[in-house]
Amino acid sequence: MTRFLTCIICLPLAFALAEPSFAQTAVPGLRGSDDPGRANAADEDGREEAETRAGVNPAQSNVFALRPSVNIAEEEDGSTGLGAAGRVQPVRPFSDRITAVTRAVPLAQGGIDDTVFGGDTTFDAPDGIRLGSFILTPQLTVTTGYTDNTSRSATGGAGSLYRIAPDISLTSDWVRHQFDASLRGSYIGYPGNSDDDDIFGSAAAGLRLDITEATRVDADISYGISREEDGSAESLGNDTFIHEGNIDLGVTRNVGLLAATAAVGADRRVYDSDSTIESGRDNTVYSASLRLGSNAGGLLSPFAQGSLLFRRFDQTCSDSICEIRDADGYELRGGLAIAAGPKLVGEVSAGWRLEDIEDSRLKNLSGLVIDGSLVWSPSRLTTVTAGVGTSFDATDIDNASGSIIYSGDLRLAHAFSDRWVGEAGLGYSYRTYEGVSIEENTLTGFGGMTYALTQNVALTANYIHRRFESSQDGGDYTENAIEAGLRFRH
């Protein structure tokens, strides 16, 4: 518990102290980040009055009116399969996918408007606390429950659990430019086996500067900590915490029907273990990218993106046979931004990534890259999101060049009223290692309900099923967990 509280306190300092680092996915997404735009208040009032006269349930017709503006620090690009493969991470909020799609396809280009259900109750929509030109929105969720596998391993036993999950967001209220920050944490305690306690934390900030009508600067920074799963091929058999840091800086210029974005970034991972064996996986990936896309609007807008990659390890010899794993490489992608009004919005892309490893004994780490986020709104009360993602991870397993993780998820949220919301989701991750015969599969199912008791307190309940299968003996496990508790927000 002390370690968790220390991490949460230190997270805000990561923005100032963390060295350049990047989540080593398929390179930073070079996407537009215009304001999502909000419906005119007078038009909303007129529409609600007309719907009331027409006999529409007023509570349901106004379910979405109080959805907060997009916080660009909370977006979820692509997919991690409802939980990153090999790591213990909570399911992200439903709205994070909507945020990513809104940023990729702004309202002015046919993106999401306020008629799209955001996946949360609105009776207790947070007012936030005004701090000058910013809005601070605090939230705390406290739950208790039961799991049949406290350690998420083949030898894990059953036990009770409790979770403490703070969530704080800061959003600018500027006419021009935008700055957002987000701080999230989760501590899961197992009273019957404290050795299995889990911590997770993330901090992120995003800044958009509108230099001119045609030129924009985007800067993003993030830090995260999570525990590595015991069943992973990388696990040393004890607690290993993965620290991830990311910095992106990009400039976008609109020239006629063409939009060009140039960006640089760094993605760092550090593996902190209680083992006396020092990890050889600590590394940083530096990248330089250029994206060219259509600025003409329309249902489908094509784009192409190219990136140069440079992976550098902290240790020259990162395993028992002293394999030098530093690599140079590239990534090429092409895709489409989809803007079919609020009914179907998103971005999908596919391409190829290659990392040429310095040591000739190791094969190049290369493979297909697929990335995408979609939001479909079949009705004002129902929203469906889908995502696919690809990430390339380092390793220090002898003769292995690294691993490639393909993930996907499908989620549905429905508002039974402004107080009562239900959600269900299914996620899958496939991890394969280059150079050795190791494969890992993770299937995750999720279902939850939220009911707003007051304008500040909501009752939450959820069920999660996880199934992990590994080609290595002794790694398979399943977990079933159920939790219920209260969410407080202002």
Please tell me the predicted confidence (pLDDT) of residue 65. 33
CB 470 within 8 A of CB 231: yes
The percent of residues above 90 in pLDDT, for the chain, comes to 66
Domain assignment present for 131: yes
pLDDT of 96 strictly over 90: yes
Domain presence at residue 372:
yes
Tell me whether residue 436 is in a domain.
yes
How does pLDDT run across 298-351, given as a tens digit for each residue? 889 999 999 999 999 998 776 668 889 999 999 999 999 999 888 899 999 999
Q: φ and ψ at 319, to 5 degrees?
A: -150, -175
**164-194 per-position pLDDT tens digit:** 999 999 999 998 899 999 999 999 999 998 9
On average, the pLDDT of the chain sits at 85
The residues pairing with 369 across neighbouring beta strands, listed in sequence order, are 351
Q: Which residues 6+ apart lie within 8 Å of 53 measured at CB?
A: none
The structure tokens listed for 272 are 């902190």
Q: Within a domain: residue 75?
A: no
Number of domains in the chain: 1
In a domain, 18, yes or no: no
Given a cut of 60, whether residue 54 has pLDDT beyond it is: no
Mean pLDDT, residues 246-273 taken together:
94
Predicted TM-score (pTM) of this structure? 0.85
Residue type, 427: G
348 close to 374: Cβ distance less than 8 angstroms: yes
Predicted confidence (pLDDT) at residue 56 exceeds the cutoff of 70: no
Quote the pLDDT of residue 237. Answer: 65
84: pLDDT strictly greater than 90: no
Alpha carbons 464 and 84: distance in angstroms, whole number: 15
Phi, psi of 162 (to 5 degrees): -140, 150
The count of other CB atoms within 10 Å of the CB of residue 83 is 23
Q: Give a yes or no: residue 426 inside a domain.
A: yes
More confident residue, 73 or 266: 266
What pLDDT, on the 0 to 100 scale, is given for residue 275?
64
Residue 7 maps to a domain? no
Please, are residues 110 and 140 in contact by the beta-carbon 8 Å criterion?
A: no
308 CA to centre of own chain: 23
pLDDT tens-digit series, residues 244-254:
999 999 999 99
The token duo for 155 is 């030898």
Is the pLDDT confidence value at 8 over 70? no
Q: Is 346 among the domain residues? A: yes
Pairwise pLDDT comparison (68 vs 85), residue with the higher score: 85
DSSP reduced 3-state for 290: strand
pLDDT tens digits, residue range 390-432? Answer: 999 999 898 999 999 999 999 999 999 999 999 999 999 999 9
The whole-number average pLDDT for the span 48-61 is 39
CATH number of the domain residue 365 falls in? 2.40.170
Q: How far is the C-alpha of 489 from the C-alpha of 127, rounded, in Å?
A: 9
Q: What's residue 88's pLDDT?
A: 87
Provide the residue range defining the domain that includes 121.
Answer: 87-489
Tokens of 142: 């406290």
> Is a pLDDT exceeding 90 seen at residue 123?
yes
The token pair at 49 is 């009055």
Kindly write down the DSSP assignment for every residue of 344-372, as one continuous string.
Answer: EEEEEEEEEEEEEESSTTS--EEEEEEEE
- Alpha carbons 111 and 108: distance in angstroms, whole number: 7
